[in-house]
A and B are shown apart, each in its own frame.
Chain A
Amino acid sequence: MSANTAMATKYRNSFLKEVEEQVEMGDWVKMCMQCGVCAGSCPVNFQSAWEHPPQEIFMMIRAGKREEVLTSPSMWNCTSCYNCIVRCPRKLPITHIMHGLAEYAHRLGIAPKMQPTRFFSGLFWKNATKTGRVNELKLSMGLYFKDGFGAGVKEGMKMKDVALGLIKAKRLNPMELLGGHKCKDQKGIQAMLKKAYEIERSRKAAKMAG
């Protein structure tokens, strides 16, 4: 049984309860009074990708629309501008709830795979943890080739003037493509991460079982 099915079975009748228990800051969701000031204050709200504004997400949670919420790209669009938190009359930590929901959907493995924020987050994490240093060249190229080789080349050509400018200003080193710079104690970093993963895994497993 996948993590997703396990959780769906466990909280069959109450998605709100699931969110309260499993999502970071999820216990705040019930405090929303549906005034709409978060949606009105959201800068992303004025782009078409923002499928459901926060207060709609909260209402969907209460209405038990589990599948729609967790597979939605909406919370991945949050730019963490904190406008909603500042203005919320009930002081809901809306930004954190959005991230909490995104993280939970990711943990269950049902977040939209090619959603750019999620894709980039994964890419960034792999990139940074591999050598203990961020390889910016590989990171941006990885994002260019997200939608396949053709699209990557096209995107790369579009950005070539910027890239050349960066190289000229010594802000970008083309040699980074061959491995790139590393931190001194790579093994130490890996060991530390391994330990952190272990702690997190046991904590989350306990939470999901409990």
Chain B
Amino acid sequence: MTEHVATNETILVVGGGISGMTAALEAAETGKNVVLVEKNPALGGRTSQLYRYFPKMCHPVCGLEINLRRLKSNPRVRVLTLAEVTGIDGVAGDYTATVKVSPRYVNANCTACGDCARAVELEVDDPFNYNLGKHKAAYLPNAMAYPQRYVLDPAIIGTPDADKAKAACKYGAIDLDMQEETIQVRAGAVIWATGWKPYDAAKIQPYGYGRFKNVITSVEFERLADVHGPTGGKILRPSDGKEAKNVAFIQCAGSRDENHLRHCSRFCCMASLKQTHYVRENYPQDGKSTIYYIDIRAIDRFEDFYQKVRDDASVTFIKSKVARISEDKDGNPVVWGVNTEGYKRYSTPHDLVVLAVGMEPSVKGMDIPGHIVADSSGFIEADPANGAVFGAGCATNALDVNRAVQSATAAALRAIQVVNKVAKAEA
């Protein structure tokens, strides 16, 4: 599985989300060899976990499918899943990366028939659904997972469940003896596209995330709205499964806050505006959304999207950063604060509160192999000191999908220039 030939004309792409996939494909389509390393068992990253994109409200299935199609037809990209880069040595034009590959326990014979999942009894947290639901310990990461191949959770290895899975497989695809491997990958340039993680909402103590079940994050709300999500696309609140018809969106949950994230995460305003559509579509008669905001930053050309939501009678805008959230006896989260337009106090109960959490770079606090210059928020900066390690997508800035793709293309171009130089030097 991990056999490959990588030279110093190869481009190593770390992270297989929308940015990493884009960078890998752009480079490969110019004729470069690419190794794409993804930590999870499937490509797609956080983009695949969205229900819909703004501004066109189309499903990510579409955009990802195009990329997967390009990927399948391009022999120059080698994809390593369940793989993590643990170290990078060398200089621009000649790097060697150490990659740790975790066992999937399922080989290429898998047809994704699902017999193993039916045989296995243990259920584990489903990170694809932000742990809102559980899935079997033999699972397909998501409906459109690439590679379309099941995974066994390490928790069942050595238990009777693992043997059941093996027995159920008609294709001899389950290999319980797979071991963790460490491999070396040579590369002329590295594209670091490790993306982002939602800011840990539990750190915003007054909002009670983690204490109150009906206070959730915007990424979790995406899963609630998705038909492939834990509720089958019905917006039901976590505490009692009641229909959440009166939803509050709290902007700048962590962003633009010296106590949390210093930067504006840029996408959260648009995400909440988009998510008001989900509420209305789920409950066309009596769905209500309330957006609590400091100021709406519908970046780029999205002002008209914002204006349309403004005109929607089911959406209320309250100019106020919420001070705190409490819970009433019925489990409704109560939102407290002062409306700065008129300085009126409010304490309003809602069915569900959605915290529009900020974007934190995954590289923050991570031990990035090699020396990489980062800004005060932890995003990778474009700096000559980085050599031929180029940031792409949300590893470099708080970006939406559209801008992440642009950033990835730019990074691919920089990497291509490096390996072109290498090629000439060796010619």
Interface residues, chain A, with chain B CB atoms under 8 Å away? 33-37, 39-41, 45-46, 52-53, 55-56, 86-91
Contacts and interface: CB of A to CB of B under 8 A. Distances in A.
B259 A36 contact: no
B258 interface: yes
A46 B336 CA distance: 11
Nearest to B262: A89
Nearest to B342: A56
B338 A40 contact: yes
A139 B339 CA distance: 40
B258 A36 contact: no
Nearest to A92: B258
A35 B259 contact: no
B67 interface: no
A35 B320 CA distance: 6
Contact of A89 (B252, B338, B340, B343): B252
Interface of B: 206, 252, 256-260, 294, 319-324, 336-340, 343, 345
Q: Of residues A52, A53, A87, which shows the largest number of chain B Cβ atoms within 10 Å of its Cβ?
A: A87
A40 B343 contact: no
A41 B323 contact: yes
Given A33-B294, A41-B324, A91 B259 contact: yes
A46 B343 contact: no
B259 A40 contact: no
A39 B338 contact: yes
Contacts of A33: 256, 294
A37 B322 CA distance: 6
Contacts of A53: 338, 343
Given A33-B294, A45-B345, A46-B345, A40 B323 contact: yes
A79 to B, nearest CB: 16
Contacts of B343: 39, 52-53, 56
B258 A89 contact: yes
A206 to B, nearest CB: 33
B256 A37 contact: no
B155 to A, nearest CB: 40
Nearest to B319: A36
Nearest to B293: A35
Q: Of residues B206, B294, B323, B336, which shows the largest number of chain A Cβ atoms within 10 Å of its Cβ?
A: B323
B323 A89 contact: no
10 contacts: A35-B340, A36-B340, A37-B322, A37-B323, A39-B345, A40-B320, A45-B345, A46-B345, A89-B259, A89-B321
B130 to A, nearest CB: 25
A35 B294 CA distance: 5
A90 B258 contact: yes
Contact of B321 (A40, A52, A91): A40
A56 B294 CA distance: 14
Given A33-B294, A35-B294, 16 more contacts: A36-B337, A36-B339, A37-B323, A37-B337, A39-B323, A39-B340, A39-B343, A40-B321, A40-B323, A41-B323, A41-B324, A87-B206, A89-B252, A89-B257, A89-B259, A91-B258
B72 to A, nearest CB: 46
Given A35-B321, A37-B321, A37-B323, A89 B336 contact: no
A89 B260 CA distance: 8
Contacts of A36: 319-321, 323, 337-340
B87 to A, nearest CB: 38
